Amino acid sequence: MEKESIDLIYIDPPFFSNRHYEIIWGDEAEIRSFEDRWEGGINVYIDWMKQRVIELHRVLKPTGSFYLHCDWHAGHYLKVMCDEVFGYKNLLNEIIWWYHDPAGTVRDRFKKKHDTIFFYSKKVDAHNFNLDAVRTPYKEGTVRQAKHKTISFGRITKTHPLGKVPEDVWEIPFINSQAKERLGYPTQKPEALLERIIKASSNKGDIVLDAFCGCGTALAVAGMLGRHWIGIDISPSAVALVKNRLKKIGVGEEEFDLIGMPKRVEDLRRFKPFEFQYWVVTEMHGTPAPRKSGDMGIDGLSFMEHAPIQVKQSEGVGRNVIDNFETALRRYYKEQTSNMKGYIVAFSFGKGAYEEVARVKKEGIEIELVTVQDILDKRFVLRQEVKKEIPVQEKELELWQKQE
Ligand SMILES: C[S@@+](CC[C@H](N)C(=O)[O-])C[C@H]1O[C@@H](n2cnc3c(N)ncnc32)[C@H](O)[C@@H]1O
């Protein structure tokens, strides 16, 4: 990215919390997960963050602002590191985001109910700050005093027609389980929080960058406020969520560039098992299954017909995988004795797999073997649409027999 090209940067990186986030949410029981583990301790984490903050400082315009969202896990270490990169005097605020949340009981300390957001300018007197866009209502008492020109603390109370200058402690509710904006991504931040940051520190037409964008809260809000945006995330499932989120608010895929998503089989070999599974099932337009059913050999359900999908990140899948999947299908379809259907996705299948598929077909179970290449080339989705007469595995078996 070009130097000094961005107006506002907001980042909400993994918090050094040594937890593996994973939640199962909603009717479709979707799983979202990302890892937040730092084997080598806090110094490894801070070094890792520093490399990124240096780059972010480079791409920020001299009039730009930088917001780093963190919490008690590493906040103090991050502040010292950011002071080194941005300069101590460029820290404008240490914002406390305070959220009420009845969850959790502690008996030996106070409840931890706030995050910290460090707000830096690149150049202290040059930064853009739209105070009037983020003023908040006065307390009723203040308005009353001002009306009657009351003297308080030796000064005549005067109010601004747009409201008061907000303080650095922000009380914004956490996204609750019923909230409309909730997508189920662990650590998803409320839109109201991002709205205040984006309104304060950017103008319409400016560029907002979120380099750890998760499910895209900053991007969605930036778009709604008429800003351009750039989002980065290492997790393909987060990027898939961003795509869906944008679609829901009327932003089509033709309106943004998607860079770095897998295009070749080699890219997919490098995916973590869960990311791979999630990618396969969503590309098939199916629904990822909760972990529990994954244990039963079902990683997702197909679109419309809700047939089980099993995903294998391997080559030459053989007879035994088909046999195990047959058992999983029988369990899934319970009493049913015919019209059972399922999909197995892998990089490639061996001859034994095709033979086994032909065998179970006679027993009323249709297993379709789908290669990752089929999914990458959109052949799978197209095949579903045109509903071809000859299932692919029969053709593949013919080929095997010919080869012999
Ligand atoms: C705390 S979450 C961000 C949540 C986001 N603010 C939201 O509202 O959805 C941190 C994100 O950083 C991503 N991440 C972790 N390591 C990364 C890396 N090296 N580069 C880019 N993104 C990374 C994770 O995949 C995760 O989505």
Q: Token pair for residue 339?
A: 């019209």
Strand-pair category, 114-121 with 91-98: antiparallel
Distance CA 292, CA 270 (A): 24
Ligand 1 center to residue 224 CA distance, Å? Answer: 21
Residues 6+ apart with CB under 8 A from 137: 163, 164
Tens of pLDDT, residues 72-117 = 999 999 999 999 999 999 999 999 999 987 777 889 999 999 999 9
What is the CATH architecture of 6-255?
Answer: 3-Layer(aba) Sandwich (3.40)
Helices (H), 125-249: 140-147, 191-201, 217-224, 236-248
Q: Quick check: helix, strand or coil at residue 98? A: strand
Q: Name the amino acid, one letter, at 181.
A: E
Instruction: Using alpha carbons, select from 107, 106, 66 the residue that is nearest to residue 85.
Output: 66
Q: Apex CA 214: angle with CA 82 and CA 347, to 5°? A: 125
Distance CA 401, CA 354 (A): 11
CB 316 within 8 A of CB 350: yes
Tens of pLDDT, residues 161-186 = 899 999 999 999 988 888 889 887 77
CB 272 within 8 A of CB 261: no
pLDDT value, residue 387 = 53
Distance CA 104, CA 123 (A): 41
pLDDT band at 398 (very low <50, low <70, confident <90, very high): low
Q: Is 237 in the pocket of ligand 1 (CB under 6 A)?
A: no
Distance CA 360, CA 205 (A): 59
For the residues of 4-53, what is the DSSP string, one character each? Answer: T-EEEEEE----S--EEEEEEETTTTEEEEEEE--TT-HHHHHHHHHHHH
Considering the chain, what percentage of its residues have pLDDT values greater than 90? 57
Distance CA 308, CA 327 (A): 12
Ligand 1 center to residue 360 CA distance, Å? Answer: 44
Higher pLDDT, 43 or 392: 43
User: For residue 210, what are the CA distances in angstroms to 11, 68, 229?
Assistant: 5, 10, 8
Q: What are 65's strand-pairing partners?
A: 8, 121
Ligand 1 center to residue 372 CA distance, Å? Answer: 26
Q: Name the amino acid, one letter, at 357.
A: V
How many separate helices (H) and strands (E) can be counted in the chain?
14, 16
Q: Is 33 in the pocket of ligand 1 (CB under 6 A)?
A: no
**Alpha-carbon torsion (41, 44, 48, 50), positive or negative:** positive
Choosing from 31, 33, 37, 233 the residue with most ligand 1 atoms within 8 A of its CB, the one to mutate for a pocket test is 233
Ligand 1 center to residue 14 CA distance, Å? Answer: 6
User: CA gyration radius for the chain?
Assistant: 27
pLDDT value, residue 395 = 55
pLDDT value, residue 378 = 77
Is residue 158 over pLDDT 70? Answer: yes
**For the CA of 210, the nearest atom of ligand 1:** 6
Q: Name the amino acid, one letter, at 175.
A: I
* Sequence spans of domains, the chain: 6-255, 265-403
Tens of pLDDT, residues 188-232 = 999 999 999 999 999 999 999 999 999 999 999 999 999 999 999
- Look up the pTM and report it: 0.78
pLDDT value, residue 389 = 44
pLDDT value, residue 27 = 32
Q: Is 238 in the pocket of ligand 1 (CB under 6 A)?
A: yes
Q: Token pair for residue 88?
A: 């101590």
Tens of pLDDT, residues 345-362 = 999 999 999 999 999 999
Phi, psi (5° rounding) for residue 157?
Answer: -70, 125
For the residues of 247-309, what is the DSSP string, one character each? Answer: HHTT--GGGS---S---SHHHHHTS-HHHHHHHHHHHTT-EEPPHHHHHTT--EE-TTT--EE
CB 85 within 8 A of CB 54: yes
Q: Token pair for residue 89?
A: 């005097």
Q: Token pair for residue 179?
A: 């909230």
Tens of pLDDT, residues 254-292 = 999 999 888 899 999 988 888 888 889 888 888 877 654
Considering the chain, what percentage of its residues have pLDDT values greater than 70? 84
Ligand 1 center to residue 189 CA distance, Å? Answer: 11
Q: At 31, which helix (H) or strand (E)?
A: strand 30-36
Q: Token pair for residue 268?
A: 């997919």
Distance CA 246, CA 231 (A): 12
Instruction: Using alpha carbons, select from 259, 262, 260, 243 the residue that is nearest to residue 347.
Output: 262
Query: Mean pLDDT for the chain?
Result: 86
